Structure 1
């Protein structure tokens, strides 16, 4: 169904990649809980291992349940192919792996999930990679940060935690002028609210753990390739353009064209990094995606109502939700996220850190967890948890200062959530007075 654009999103989120099981007729995608697959004969096995034939070899590389999810994700994002893996963090490394090398760097937004900031600030140094952090509201600064060793530009469509909306069109223009791929983390928006490839993104990464699965049960990640980047236009990406020794000199871009990145992600990335998504997790995610549009519409409806209410509360100093007319990023919503600004934002409290703690501890319906994108409404104090490893300057730049709480609005009754917030905010404000 990838090549059938006549189908709408609501149809594709249910049917893309999925077909009745040929052996049993099962309509729901089965969980293929198997490690390995029987080859027809020795010639068949050799052809699979030599990338001359597509099929199933070993579940570290390919699995029928995961394959359905990969096709569905590629279809919903409008990409050529996708590789699923064990988590969102794994997806980020998978996205960078074919592009980078010792001494190379990426230019990244300052407004990122705290774990991503830590991954790019510290962990990737062990590979000999480095990241330059730039405010993506200043595209001249993004251009200035690019040098001969830059291999990618990275940002989030709707940034975690503050709900900041990135000007993807402007970022894509800078990337294209530099001959670099633009990588967009679309976790907070999902392809229902934002399709980064339509704005010029080369690769789209997801933590499928969040809104895509939507029920807080499994972790998973995904890299979707637009299939439009010319990996052979320069010598910057030898993993994709130059002969691959492990496959007897095969050149991925020359051989697989628009699917070069996807094939490399499976044949080299999953083979050697082993960041495999298990089939049961893929099954849960597929079931979650079937209701994605329904849930996202409710997330947005609730978030718009609750953010507007919070903005007028006496205990609140500021709300960052881009769906509010007062947001400095409000004008981008119609262009980048035409169906709404998502369900994620931050709230700054007048009582500072102590008020944040009292709010978190005083809520009854909201769950205090280190997750987002659940059907349940969630809250966390980012500076002391998800962004704890960051410096105070990094926390502020990321929108996670000590006087800020992150809220992920669920799909409950909005009035019930407002009542819960009201009672907890009122108590926190009185205690701070």
Structure 2
């Protein structure tokens, strides 16, 4: 039965049914994989109507696909948004979301506690598009405000910074953004809609790397953009939403779809022209991931709490940065924004510094040393030499990276097995250090 007959479904139900009706042709219960490039037109008028976006339908899978459309609708429902656009990766989602708003000469403001790939995208790649990105301390609202000028098009942040784990005060930052007629864009990859719905706190656009927890099994690359559908694009800062477009039968994007104007522009402008389309097979896998997301996230968080507590008391660990730990400087902020738990990704420092941290990584057996997070399996990495290695030491420090730091993404294995593997790797790091000193 379609969820369309209900007005207020709960999260777990939406994760199973959102955006889907039983297939009208085959009556398939599961979402079919529409592995096709193109779709037939009924006649010349029907084709013209679709191309001018006068009616809904499908033309070419570069801009829309029925399988991916279920994913988009389901994610929009889970986030409390109006619509969504699924793309080829998390980086694609960030790029399309921001460049839908900013062009040559424009500026974006971002908090500086970012994933290394995003930092590089902003600091280097966006320059090639003529877009300036200003990095600020998101905890200092006056610094955020001072960075705003007439060229600013958006403010960007992560729900939980990677790997510094700085929790965004979305209410406060969104107020600054809205007071200046700007949208707030939030990367919610670490939290997923299960742990936090940024739109409820004032975000206007939410992006995810669906590669991570939403897929959940390390099998597929993808991303998604969710539009809250609440921002006033006609406030004077965004004429590209109000100016008529010949391809839209001389209508503007706001005239085309007032509530989802942003997603419409993202999809049929950059999304279509740059070809950052999501494979329908990957879209189908992400739908499967959403169906188990509530159960997985609950266990991810429970395991992370236990591992963080274990490390916090371990003699070979100098510090643990997990906002869910009592005594962490962000504990109260975590209770406000993440009442279901502070996620399952955190960092810790290995006693003995850089070389001990490297030895720890080399010594894990059950845990996997890979450049990913949000997998059902536990993963570890040394950010300073990998994900953030392109940054200078000062840039690493700003983003929350230190030489002795290990980032762990706690998986769904038995927690005792995770503890045992971590312990033996820590012991190996100490023995290597002692051998080096002798």
Give the structure-1-normalised TM-score: 0.98
RMSD: 1.2
Determine whether 1:331 maps to 2:336.
Answer: no
Q: 1:127 to 1:3 in 2, by over 3 A?
A: farther
* Deviation digits for residues 86-109 of structure 1 (CA, Å, limit 9, x no counterpart): 000000011012210111111101
The match for 1:91 is 93
Shift in CA distance, 195/257, structure 1 to aligned 2, threshold 3 Å: same
Size of the aligned set, in residue pairs, is 432
Which residue matches 2:118? 116
Conserved 8 A contact 2:348-2:406: yes
Tell me the residue number matched to 1:142: 144
Post-superposition offset of 1:430: 2.9
Deviation at 1:403, TM superposition (A): 1.4
Structure 1 outlier segments of 4+, above 4 Å: 2-5
Once the two structures are overlaid, the 10-residue window that deviates more, 14-23 or 294-303, is 14-23
Alpha-carbon distance, 1:243 to partner: 2.0
Matches of 1:2 and 1:317, distance apart in 2: 52
> Where do residues 163-182 of structure 1 align in structure 2 (5 Å cutoff)?
163-182=165-184
C-alpha deviation, 1:244, in angstroms = 2.2
CA distance in 2, matches of 1:76, 1:126: 35
Checking the alignment, whether the CA contact within 8 Å between 2:112 and 2:136 is kept in structure 1 is: yes
**Alignment correspondent of 1:199:** 201
Residue by residue, what CA displacement relative to the aligned partner does 1:160-202 show, whole Å, maximum 9, x if unpaired? 1233211111111111111100000000000000000000000
CA distance in 1, matches of 2:260, 2:327: 43
Match of 1:424 in 2: 425
The equivalences for 1:20-419 within 5 A come to 20-234=22-236, 236-419=237-420
Q: How does 1:5-20 map to 2 (within 5 A)?
A: 5-20=7-22
Task: Tell me, yes or no, if the aligned pair for 1:158 and 1:186 is still in contact at 8 Å.
Answer: yes
SS of residue in 2 equivalent to 1:122: helix
Between 243-252 and 84-93, the greater mean CA deviation after superposition: 243-252
Q: How far apart are the structure 2 equivalents of 1:147 and 1:165?
A: 25
Give the Å deviation of 1:249.
2.9
The structural deviation recorded for 1:247 is 2.8
Deviations 1:360-392 (A, max 9, x none): 111111100000000000000111111111111
Mean Cα displacement is larger for which, 198-207 or 402-411? 402-411
Deviation (angstroms), 1:229: 0.2
Deviation at 1:271, TM superposition (A): 1.4
8 Å CA contact retained: 2:16, 2:290: yes
1:151–1:13 CA distance, 2 compared to 1 (3 A): same
Output the CA distance in 2 between the equivalents of 1:432 and 1:178.
53
**SS of equivalent to 2:408:** strand
**Does the CA-based 8 Å contact 2:52-2:247 persist in structure 1?**
no
Structure 2 CA distance for aligned equivalents of residues 327 and 219 of structure 1: 33
Q: Once the two structures are superposed, what CA deviation does each residue of 1:56-86 show, in whole Å capped at 9, x if it has no partner?
A: 0000011000000000010000000000000
* Contact preservation (8 Å) 1:194, 1:336: yes
Write the distance in 2 (CA, Å) between the matches of 1:29 and 1:329: 41
In the TM superposition, residue 269 of structure 1 has moved relative to its aligned partner by 2.3
Partners of 1:98 and 1:237 within 8 A in 2: no
